Chains A and B, each alone.
Chain A
Amino acid sequence: MLLWKIARRLLAIAGLVLLGGLLSATLVRFAPGFDTDERQLDPTLSADSVRALVESRSHEHNVLRFYLSYLKGALHGELGVSHALGQPVQKLLRDRWPVTLRVVGVGLLLAWLLAAALACIASLWQRAPGELLGTALSGAFLCIPAAVLALLSVILNTPGYLAVAFIVFPKTYRYTRNLLAKAYTLPHITAARAKGLGEARILAWHVFPVVAPQMAALAGISVSIALGASIPVESLCGLPGIGQLAWQAALARDLPLLVNVTVLVTLVTLLANSGADVIVHMLRSREA
């Protein structure tokens, strides 16, 4: 039964990733200016060279044919060549992935640490400055666009992952805080308090196990938020990561590059959400 569930989930992920790739390929194909190449305007190129340039992209005109040949190549590890950057997509992704991993990974870690710390402080000492600080900080960052946080990061000369952290933090904090507040109203917490258990012990042994499944689900969603935030952060902070690559690919109508980036982002988002679902399932079955 479990194996069947996993197989169905994996099939759904594969289907969505393939659809996402096809959708982006269709969008790029029908985007204005798709068929133009700056090199066609180069007066030093002969008519034959210009014709050869045009023909080199003729296989991209039929979206389905392009997508099928892309999938065939992808199965053999060939992801095509970027028109805009003139490099194999595989190499571009390999070179830039570590930057995004650091920006998103460290950003997520900091956001979660700050959110969890403030939510715990606010729950343990209610009506204390902790609650006010958490609400004010999350409220303020919730009101600032991701791109402004990226710009502020440039002006203040702080690392890009801090901007990602402050983009993810407010959503994480508010959800965690609400979960904790709800968990503290449960009868077994009142009973534990009546028996004289300390607040820290109640949090660790009685509140955290209750909220853990929802927190795991939130972790999956926060990966998606952080990946989305990586585009303005990497583009404005000049960080050569996948977010900046997506931005460049979209502006240049670079079909092979954008399809690969979309497939990669969809895959990571879906895997993060599915991983979170598996953890939720494990936690709930252990509870039962």
Chain B
Amino acid sequence: MKWSNIKYLILRRFVQLSLLFLYFAGNYWGWTVLQGDLSSSVLFGAVPLSDPFAVLQILATGAIIGTNALIGAVIIALFYGIIGGRAFCSWVCPVNMVTDLAAWLRRKLMIDRIERKIWISRNLRYYMIVLALIVSAISGLAAFEILSPITILNRGVIFGFGAGVGLIVAIFLFDLFVVKNGWCGHICPLGGIHSIIGKRSLIRVKHDSDNCTLCMKCKEVCPEVQVLGMIGKRSEFVSRQECTNCGRCVDVCDDDALDFHIRNILASKESK
């Protein structure tokens, strides 16, 4: 296997595991590089970072929230909104490693070919956002945060695992046997929030159809395959908001037809 075929995959795993390690060290050794967890953290002992969706849910309960959490959510939203796009899902979120493993196993075991297809809309995640906010308002409890596998896995690494591991296993099995990319690509409302936030980001994958040989390897590995509609047809940016900027398509392409580029935000607005 060539380095160019796994470059972004390795980089992503490095970033994901490094962040988990820094969070772990923040609790275990008291390092001040990154403390807290993915819901809310402190960077270098000074910069607050918060999950915008968690903050939204808290606001939906009708509670007044501290300024640090609000500032943290704005910082995160600006970072992904301007630069990273939906990169949280593929470069930060620890559940991505679980669901990627399930997707990889599906390909290796050819489960796609024998499975009875169960169809779930990829827009379910946006309904889940609305539902989470409504339930938060009704129950007085940030509704997604009580069952979010993202923070359960994240906190498990930092503070020790509990019975919440069962949910992680369930999601792995769901992705493996029920729906391809079921959790991250269909249901997860946090992914939906990051899709919306990252809609106009600068960093995007760009397709060059002149180089494309229509091998379709990119479509095989893409967890949000609907965003690759232009493959072999038009040279353009992958502009749909669900693209996680994971770079797997860039990795597997042997023909230089896909790569990361900086998108001119203003121009893309005009072309709409």
Instruction: Specify whether A and B are partners.
Output: no
